[in-house]
C-alpha cells in the first residue's frame, strides 16, 4: 500500500516505523487493520446513559480508528469488523455476532461505518485532525455517513421485510432524532482525542530534538 498519494499527510499510524520489505510492510498494515477492528469491537460494548437514548462508543471508535489509520486502512478495519460479526464473533453491540444481523434494522449503520471511517481518514490525511475545530468539522461529517446507509436500510427492513408500514417521520424518529446529541458529543470527543495525540507527538519530538 503506497503512501505516496497526492495531498496526503501522515496520520498517527504512519508514525510507526514502516519496514522497507514489502511483505513486512503488508503485515504491519494487516496488524493495524485488525487492531482497529478490535478497538471498534471493544467500544461497541460501552454504553453511556444519554438523553433521549443511551449511546454506545461504536461511532466514536469508527471515527477515531479512521482518523488514526487513514482512509484505506480505516475502511479495511471496519470491513474486518463487519465480516467478523457476520462470522459469529461477538463484536457487535451487546456482544452479538451472527449472519442473521443482516436482517436487523440497524445493520445498515454498520455498513455505513466502513465509509465513515474512510471519510474520517480522508480528513486526517489532509491534516484536519491536527486542530480541534477542523477535526470536529471533519469528524462530524464522517458521523453523518452511517445515517445515509442506516436509515434507508432500516426503512427497508421495517416496512418491506417486517411490514410495519412506517412513514418517513416515524423512521426518522426511530433512526435519526434520538442519536443527534450523541453524535455531536462523540464527534467532539474524537476532535479532542486525536489532536491531543498529535500534540503529544509534537511534544515528544521537541524533547528529542527532532
Q: What is the pLDDT of residues 163-201, one digit of tens each?
A: 998 999 999 999 999 999 999 999 999 999 999 999 999
Band of pLDDT at residue 4, cut at 50, 70 and 90 = very low
Are residues 112 and 58 in contact, defined by beta-carbon separation less than 8 angstroms?
Answer: no
- Distant-in-sequence, close-in-space partners of 107: CB < 8 Å, separation ≥ 6: 101, 153, 157
Band of pLDDT at residue 3, cut at 50, 70 and 90 = very low
Domains in the chain, number:
1
Residue 72 lies in a domain: yes
Q: What is the pLDDT of residues 10-42, one digit of tens each?
A: 999 999 999 999 999 999 999 999 999 999 999
Q: What is the pLDDT of residues 108-149, one digit of tens each?
A: 999 999 999 999 999 999 999 999 999 999 999 999 999 999
Band of pLDDT at residue 8, cut at 50, 70 and 90 = confident
Residue 113 lies in a domain: yes
**The model's pTM:** 0.92
Alpha-carbon separation of residue 35 from 47, 77, 88, 114 (angstroms): 21, 8, 18, 15
At 205 the pLDDT is 84
Residue 69 lies in a domain: yes
Residue 14 lies in a domain: no
pLDDT tops 90 at residue 48: no
Range of the domain at 153: 22-208
Give 86 or 48, the one with higher predicted confidence: 86
Which CATH number covers residue 28? 1.10.1760.20
DSSP label at residue 92: B
Amino acid at each position: 500500500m503506497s503512501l505516496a498519494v497526492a495531498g496526503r499527510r501522515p496520520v498517527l499510524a504512519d508514525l510507526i516505523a514502516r519496514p522497507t520489505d514489502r511483505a513486512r510492510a503488508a503485515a504491519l498494515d494487516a496488524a493495524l487493520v485488525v487492531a482497529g477492528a478490535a478497538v471498534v469491537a471493544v467500544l461497541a460494548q460501552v454504553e453511556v446513559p444519554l438523553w433521549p437514548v443511551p449511546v454506545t462508543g461504536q461511532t466514536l471508535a469508527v471515527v477515531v480508528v479512521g482518523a488514526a489509520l487513514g482512509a484505506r486502512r480505516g475502511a479495511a478495519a471496519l470491513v474486518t469488523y463487519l465480516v467478523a460479526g457476520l462470522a459469529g464473533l461477538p463484536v457487535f453491540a451487546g456482544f452479538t455476532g451472527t449472519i442473521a444481523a443482516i436482517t436487523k434494522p440497524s445493520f445498515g449503520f454498520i455498513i455505513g461505518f466502513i465509509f465513515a471511517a474512510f471519510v474520517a481518514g480522508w480528513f486526517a490525511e489532509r491534516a484536519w485532525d491536527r486542530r480541534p475545530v477542523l477535526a470536529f468539522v471533519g469528524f462530524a461529517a464522517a458521523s453523518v455517513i452511517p445515517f445515509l446507509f442506516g436509515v434507508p436500510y432500516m426503512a427497508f427492513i421495517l416496512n418491506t421485510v417486517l411490514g410495519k408500514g412506517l412513514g418517513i417521520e416515524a423512521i426518522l424518529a426511530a433512526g435519526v432524532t434520538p442519536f443527534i446529541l450523541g453524535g455531536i458529543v462523540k464527534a467532539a470527543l474524537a476532535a479532542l482525542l486525536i489532536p491531543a495525540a498529535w500534540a503529544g507527538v509534537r511534544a515528544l519530538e521537541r524533547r528529542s530534538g527532532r
